[in-house]
Amino acid sequence: MSETPPNTLQYRFDGPEDAPVLILGPSLGTTWHMWDRQVPELTGQWRVFRFDLPGHGGAAAHPAGSVAELSTRLLATLDSLGVQRFGYAGCALGGAIGVELALRHPERLASLALVATSPRFGTADEFRQRGVIVRTNGLDPIARTAPERWFTGGFAAAQPAITEWAVQMVRTTDPGCYIAACEALAAFDVRSELGRVGVPTMVLVGSDDQVTGPAEARTLVAGIPDARLAVVPGASHLVPVEQPAAVTDLLAQHFSTAWQQPYDTGQTVLPAAAIVPVPAAALAPVPVAEIAPAAAPAQPAALPDRYETGLKIRREVLGDAHVDEELARSDGFSGDFQQFVTRYAWGEIWDRPGLDRRTRSCVTLTALVAGGHLEQLAVHTRAALRNGLTPDEIKEVLLQTAVYCGAPAAHSAFRVARQVIQEETTPAE
């Protein structure tokens, strides 16, 4: 397979070339093969387009750190193929891409199906913690626990071949791309924007899904105007794999009925790959030597809110749980200090472009060892792991402090850091 350009995605088509395009988007850790059992029936009516996430299924390992970037790459791929308008069904992370498309590019969507999807997937801390686990231990711990997250117990026991397929699918994913996808899910939160989704939408969920279950599905349905809910009994997170016939029927029914008329998004909908030339005569003449009125004096640009910027960075580096606890403890006496730290340390210094976050973590660890601030050293050891440092790299930083800050200080630092690293990098049983 040829190398995929960094701004596009690995893909395949199935079905007649002249049929309308229906896209099937995968979940984190899976490949386009998760939709294999839907393809034979769907290709009777649609040209099915499937894609792999970066680093999944042998795709080129070009990490994408946001859902917006993944949707941009998908659109670039479709643009290169002349596909302008399409139906879209996505599972979990693939569903998040579908929501992003509906919010930012509604003119491209004929209809939308969100499978095992949530407007916010768990918490940012959970996904960044998963990234730490993968960075330290590789994907094997995630792969071994995938079947219990993806399938009901009965299905996993009755289908050992599919269960092993799921494990191997995760194991063969590029770790860096998996971590980037975790970052993308950590930052994804469209709860306040659901009311702007203006395409016909079906929300589909397995009744036994413990990852993004019926509660999350109902949140989507409550927020998206005129969305419909379909709950598939006896299925968990990878419902297209566990209950393929039911999912295929629901998708076929939804896209058949929703595709009858172009949906009114307030924009002109063009057929697939249409190019509409504009006659030269229709263009307005350009005035020659027109004297424009004097421009009004430019107003100084408003300065960014450093507190909001700082709070965002502080949460990304230290985690929501820690920041929430610190802010909850603040009162009339300490509140000004929390404002100062958030606005200046995080909104000014940590946001400067001169150093990346990994480097800033190295500097911070060294400074905390030198000052003997062991409580903050524990906090920033966790932060260093989230910022991409490995335990071996943290060890090298502490060895360096032994030379320049003294062996006793480094001895205490190793004790604190070792405890934090054990807690943060040990996979949950």
Q: What are phi and psi of 207, to 5 degrees?
A: -65, -25
In a domain, 285, yes or no: no
> Domain check: are 251 and 349 in the same one?
no
pLDDT of residue 283: 31
pLDDT of residue 272: 31
pLDDT at residue 361 tops 60: yes
In a domain, 291, yes or no: no
> Domain check: are 254 and 312 in the same one?
no
In a domain, 295, yes or no: no
> Domain check: are 311 and 253 in the same one?
no
Domain termination site, one of 258, 290, 324: 258
Domain termination site, one of 258, 279, 297: 258
> Domain check: are 181 and 311 in the same one?
no
Mean residue pLDDT across the chain: 90
Report the CATH number at residue 327: 1.20.1290.10
| N-terminal to C-terminal alpha carbon distance within the chain | 37
The per-residue pLDDT for range 120-143, each reduced to its tens digit, is: 999 999 999 999 999 999 999 999
Using pLDDT thresholds of 50, 70 and 90, give the confidence band for residue 284.
very low
The per-residue pLDDT for range 300-336, each reduced to its tens digit, is: 555 568 999 999 999 999 999 999 999 999 999 999 9
pLDDT of residue 277: 33
> Domain check: are 83 and 150 in the same one?
yes
In a domain, 270, yes or no: no
Span 381-388, average pLDDT: 95
pLDDT of residue 305: 81
Q: What are phi and psi of 202, to 5 degrees?
A: -115, 135
pLDDT of residue 420: 96
> Domain check: are 26 and 164 in the same one?
yes
> Domain check: are 315 and 196 in the same one?
no
In a domain, 171, yes or no: yes
Higher pLDDT, 295 or 317: 317
| Number of separate domains in the chain | 2
Span 223-247, average pLDDT: 97
pLDDT of residue 269: 30
Domain termination site, one of 236, 258, 280: 258
Roughly what angle, to the nearest 10 degrees, separates helices 124-137 and 374-386? 80
pLDDT at residue 206 tops 50: yes
- Segments forming the whole domain that contains residue 111: 11-258
Higher pLDDT, 95 or 260: 95
The contacts found for 168-173 with CB under 8 angstroms, 24 or more apart, are 168/143, 169/29, 169/30, 169/31, 169/33, 169/57, 170/29, 170/139, 170/142, 170/143, 170/146, 171/139, 171/140, 171/143, 172/57, 172/58, 173/29, 173/55, 173/56, 173/139
pLDDT of residue 299: 53
> Domain check: are 35 and 100 in the same one?
yes
In a domain, 301, yes or no: no
> Domain check: are 393 and 244 in the same one?
no
pLDDT of residue 6: 82
The per-residue pLDDT for range 229-239, each reduced to its tens digit, is: 999 999 999 99
pLDDT of residue 428: 75
Report the CATH number at residue 222: 3.40.50.1820
Choose the weakest-confidence range: 24-33, 77-86, 268-277.
268-277
> Domain check: are 224 and 360 in the same one?
no
> Domain check: are 247 and 347 in the same one?
no
> What pTM did the predictor assign?
0.83
In a domain, 232, yes or no: yes
> Domain check: are 231 and 362 in the same one?
no
In a domain, 110, yes or no: yes
pLDDT at residue 78 tops 70: yes
Amino acid at 63: P
